[in-house]
Amino acid sequence: MKRLLPWLLLGVLAGLALGLGYAWVLHPIQFNGVAPSGLSQDFQDQYLELIGSAYYATGNLGRARARLALFPSAGSVQLDDLARQVFTTGGADPSVRGLATLSANLTVPQGAQPSAAPSAQPSATPTLVPPLPLTVVPYPTFLPQSTPSSTPPVLFTLLAKSPICDPSAQTSLLEAEIAAPNGNPLPAIEVRIRWDGGQDHFYTGLEPEKGLGYGDFQMTPGVTYQIQVGASEDWISGLTAPSCFETNGTAYSGSLLLTLQSQ
């Protein structure tokens, strides 16, 4: 037995050497990276957020579709859910708007013009001053500076303010339905809310089952609210939960629906 032990040890070492040589030299493992769809869910969500932010900045639907092709399971429902998640966790506004608008426009056929394409900032077109001929003068002449002319912001008009009385509703909502002049719903529109002692905001398009131009906020009965929509500077005031009555005369607080249209 003592004579066999050195030979067994030598055999183990030889086998180990042959195995390492085969794995490292003759047939090494090739790592080619991981596709985005193979990442963990957290990293996939971060990747999709970047796609939404890029779409918000450029409005290039074709490029966004090509990037989403890396995620075969990513569709409107997943983008809507992610937009809600980013919004509720205080994520970046470009990600929320980009994801909501991209989700709405994924159903647009290839080559068609998407509605409500986002724009990060209004583009400024500088007014150029034509060059003046060189003139020698005894004192300096100051030329006027070029002043950029910016695109005017999109404004919104309140078309209707309708009370909603539903005894089965659990809460009072301030609801908004926002559309373009042609009637198409507008997703990713920010609605800012303020009241005595607080402020908040919400976006349209985060509940597509209720409409791409729909958004809501839970009101407290008896509190008066003001809202500001999009880039508008004016505030719509005097908004409060309406008083409703059941058939037996019992009073309860209803919801308020605002219908708005871009100019």
**C-alpha of 224 from chain center:** 28
Bridge pairing between strands 225-229 and 214-219: unpaired
Most confident of the ranges 6-20, 93-107, 163-177: 163-177
131 exposure class (CB count in 10 Å sphere: 0-12, 13-18, 19+): exposed
pLDDT digits (tens, 9 = 90+) for 15-32: 888 877 777 777 676 655
Domain segments of the chain as ranges: 40-105, 156-262
pLDDT confidence tier of residue 131, bands split at 50, 70 and 90? very low
* pLDDT, average across residues 199-203: 92
Whether 81 shows a pLDDT value over 80: the answer reads: yes
Residues 6+ apart with CB under 8 A from 180: 115, 116, 186, 261, 262
The pLDDT value recorded for residue 224 is 96
Most confident of the ranges 50-54, 61-65, 168-172: 168-172
pLDDT confidence tier of residue 91, bands split at 50, 70 and 90? confident
Whether 198 shows a pLDDT value over 90: the answer reads: yes
Whether 167 shows a pLDDT value over 80: the answer reads: yes
The pLDDT value recorded for residue 1 is 59
Structure token pair of residue 171: 């809460």
Among 76-90, 183-197, 202-216, name the one with the lowest average pLDDT.
76-90
Question: Of residues 115 and 38, which shows the higher confidence score?
Answer: 38
Which residue from 62, 102, 77 is spatially nearest to 209, judged by alpha carbons? 77
The pLDDT value recorded for residue 150 is 52
CA distance 116 to 105: 8
CATH superfamily label, 156-262: Immunoglobulins (2.60.40.10)
* pLDDT, average across residues 182-198: 91
Whether 125 shows a pLDDT value over 60: the answer reads: no
Whether 118 shows a pLDDT value over 90: the answer reads: no
Whether 123 shows a pLDDT value over 60: the answer reads: no
* pLDDT, average across residues 3-17: 77
* pLDDT, average across residues 94-106: 83
Whether 98 shows a pLDDT value over 60: the answer reads: yes
pLDDT confidence tier of residue 256, bands split at 50, 70 and 90? very high
Amino acid at 188: A
